[in-house]
Amino acid sequence: MPDWVSTRRREIGARIRAARHHAGLTQLQLGERVGRDHRTIHRWEYAQRVPDLEDLLLLADALSIPAADLIR
């Protein structure tokens, strides 16, 4: 896998984490809003896993931000 892919994964995770903090939510609260376990939120934020498109849309809705802000 090219290095830029790992970099982008980390950037997306950092954007999810920053948006969650800005919204004043815990990983548990965000997980409840998107129907995922808090461990999944942790994995996304620390680039251990990548959210699929459906999850990105749910995250954006739960965080009240455009989905593009998470992946720009």
In the block, tokens 């720009």 appear at: 72
CA atoms within 13 A on the CB side of 23: 19
> pLDDT tens, 26-37?
999 999 999 999
What is the value of pTM for the model shown?
Answer: 0.93
Are the CB atoms for 50 and 40 separated by under 8 Å? no
CA distance 30 to 4: 27
Q: Which fold would CATH assign to domain 3-64? A: 434 Repressor (Amino-terminal Domain) (1.10.260)
Residue ranges of domains in the chain: 3-64
Instruction: Indicate the pLDDT class of residue 72, thresholds 50, 70 and 90.
Output: confident
Encoded tokens for 18: 């920053």
